[in-house]
Amino acid sequence: MTDTTEPAAAQEVIDLATGQMGALNEKMGVEIVAVSAERIEATMPVEGNTQPYGLLHGGASVVLAETLGSIGSAIHAWPDRIAVGVDINATHHRSARAGTVTGVATPIHLGRTSACFEVVVTDEQGRRLCTSRITCALIPANRGA
């Protein structure tokens, strides 16, 4: 991770959200590049994340989008609430066969009980492959998921 522009208190949730991304993100090769309250960026290889025709699997793009939107929502919710995904959608614009894709999440809405992020996935030439939107409910931290 190369960019953390949050105050020290928020750094704890950034470390938690990015340090424990889970086995699926590890298997897919997702790597966090930058995190702030306004922008979360990560990369993912195409290799190993393809469908039978050798193209980047649409579900892989959605996993990347959900990861980034969830991290952004968790940062916004901290410290009194936790973020749980309730809706995600994706439009696939073009395909990728090789290289690395990059996802960038930016907030659309940051409320008291919900957060919504747009995630744009691009290829190495900067061409948009996928546009996704994720909404997370922000529930009391003491309630659990």
Active site annotation includes 66: yes
48, 97, 88, 49: which is closest to 68 by C-alpha?
A: 88
- The first and second tokens of residue 130, run together, are 């996928």
Alpha-carbon gap, residue 82 to 140, rounded angstroms:
6
The one-letter amino acid at 117: F
Please state whether the peptide bond connecting residue 107 to the residue before it is cis, i.e. omega within 30 degrees of 0. Answer: no
The region that residue 129 occupies, defined by phi over 0 for left and psi between -120 and 50 for alpha, beta otherwise, is: alpha
Among the options 41, 47, 66, 118, which is catalytic? 66
What positions carry a catalytic annotation? 66
